[in-house]
Structure 1
Amino acid sequence: MGQAEQAPASRARARGSKPRSNPTPKAGRNLPAAIVVGLAMLIGVLGGLIFLPLGFVAVTTGFAVFGVWEIFRALEANGTRMPIIPVMVGTVAMPFAAYFGGLESLLFALLLSCVAVLLWRSVESPVGSANSIFAGVFALGWVPFFISFATLPLHTAGVMPALGLYPGGTVPAGAWQVAVMLLLVVSNDTFGYLVGASLGKHPMAPKISPKKSWEGFAGSVAGAMVIGVLACIFLLDRPWWVGVILALGTVAASTAGDLAESMVKRELGIKDMSSILPGHGGVMDRLDSIVFASPVAFVLFAVVSGA
C-alpha cells in the first residue's frame, strides 16, 4: 500500500515535474468566485439604493439577519445559546426604524431589543444566563445597530416613500453618500487584497489575522483615496480633500471591523462564519467591514456636510 502511494510521486519526480496539488491562494480566497459574488452583491445593493430605497433597506435587513444567524450558530457550537427570537426581532426592526424614524428611533429600537433579550432570558433557566444575555446584546450592537447607519442617510435626506420609489425620480444626496461608502469599502477590500497578495510581507496583527499585511493596508488606503476623490468630484459635488478624509476614515473602520471579526472567529476556533457565499465564506465575513464603516461614514459625512 505504501509503495503504491509513493509510485505516482516517484514517476512525477522522474519526469522532472512536481505532483499535482491544489494550493490555496496567498490571501486565502477563491479569487474568481469572490469577484463574481462580490460584483453581484454590489450591483444588487447599489441598484436597490439608487432606484428602490425601501428595497435597499430590505436587503440590508436580510444581510443583518443572516449575519446574526451565523453568530448564533457559532456561539451555540461553543456552548453559548443566544436568545435568538428577541435578537432576530430587533435585527429586523432596527434598519426600518432608522429609515422611517431616524437616529432617535434607531436608538429606541436598540434599547427595546436589549430589554427584550433581558426579559426573554429571565423566564428561562438561570444556568448560563449571563453569557446568553451578553451574547444577545453584543450581537444586536455589532450587526443590526451598526449596519442600520447605512439606512440613516435616506431618512436624513427626507426620503421615506411608502412604495419605496424616490419622488420625481431624483436620487437624493443621502443615497449617494451610502453608495460612496459602499464603494470605499469595496475598494478597501479589493486594493488591499491585490497588494497584500502580491507584496504583503509584514503582518499587521499576526496573532489575529496573519494574512493581513501593512503592504495590503497601504494598498487599501491608496486605492480608497483615489475612489474617494473621484466620487466626491463626480458624485457628491464636494471638494477633493473630502474624499481623502472619507477614504482614510472608511479604511480605518473597515480594517478595524475585519480584525474584530477575525478576533471573534479565532476565539471561537473557526475559519469562516459559514460557507454560504462562494469565495467569501459567510455573510459576516463580508459584513465585517461594512458594519464598522457605516457609522463612521455617517459621522464623517455629518462633520464635512458644510464643506
Structure 2
Amino acid sequence: MTSGTDSNPGGDRLSVGTYVVDRDATDDPDRAVVVRLPDAVCATWEIEDTDQTVADYNPDYSSEAPVAIVVFEPALDSVSEWHHSDPDDLWPLVQTHDLPYYAYPEPRLEPVGDSLAGHTHTEPMTIWFDGACEPVNPGGHGTYGIVVAQGEEIVHEERGYIGEGEGITNNVAEYEALVAALEHTQAEYPGAPVTVYGDSQLVIRQLTGEYAVRSPRLRPLWQDARRLANQLDVEFEWVPREQNERADALSREAYYEQTQQEELDKRRERAANEPMQITPLGDETYEVKGTYTVDLTARSCTCPDYENRGLPCKHIFKVKQNCEQS
C-alpha cells in the first residue's frame, strides 16, 4: 500500500486501538482492531500488489472517505504482547510480525466496545483454580471452581459442571478450571500482570514446561490454556491444597448442586409415574395418600424423606404436577 503520514484529525474519526467490525459483513463478523489511520482518502490509497485503490474496491462509499487500516483479532492473537501494547505500538508490532492488514473506508467500520487503551489494565490480578472428579476418578462428575482477584479484592468467582463418565478425570477438570479463569481474565482485564495458583502439580508444571503433555485427552486443553496464557503477562505457581481452599470449595459446591439436581429429577419422575390420592385441604395445602400434608406455599411435606433431607419429595412434585394439569 502507499505510505502516508499517520494522523487522527478531529471529528468522528476512529481511534487507533478501537475494536471494529465490517458493517457490510453478513452473519457474525470477526472483530478487528484499528492499527493505523493514514493521512489518506480512499481515492488515493492503493491496495498492495494491485493497481486499484480502496475506492475501486468500495464503490458504495465516498472516494473522499478517510482510510483505516485494521488487523483481525485471530491474526493479532498470534502475538502474545498485543493485548498490553499501547495503541501507538500497534502498527510497529504489525510490521515486526508481518501480520496481514487491510484498508477500509472508515464509514464501513462500526466500533464495537471500547478501545484497546480502554481495555488495558495494570493492577496485578491473581487466579486460583481447582477441579474435581467425584465420587470416582476417572469417570465421575467433573466440576471446577475459580477465584479471580484484582489486588486484594475478589472480583469474580465461578463454579461449573463439566460432565460425567468416560473422559472425565481430575486433570481434565483442573484444566477446564484454568481455561475458564484465563478466558475471564483475558476478556475483562487484558494487559494486567497475572499470577495463577493451583494445587495440581501436573497442570502447573505442564504449563511451565517442566512436564511434557503426553495425554491425548489433555493436549487440546493444554493448548487452549497455553494460547490464553500467551495473551497475558502470566506466571504459574503451585500451592498446597490448604492454600487453595476457596477454589476447592467452589468445585465441591458444583458437585453437590449437580448430584442434588439429579436426585430431584429422579423424584420428579417417580412422582409422575406413581398414582397418589390427593385431597385439597385449602390454603395451598393438600393431603397425600391420606397420610402426609403438603404445603405448596412453603414447599414442605410432613413425610420422613422431606423432614430428614429438606429436599422436595415426590409428594410435593406430585401435588405440583396435579395442580399444573388441572
How does the TM-score come out when normalised to structure 2?
Answer: 0.21
- The structure with the larger Rg is 2
Which has the larger strand fraction? Answer: 2
Higher RCO (CA < 8 A, seq sep 6+) = 1
How does the TM-score come out when normalised to structure 1?
Answer: 0.22
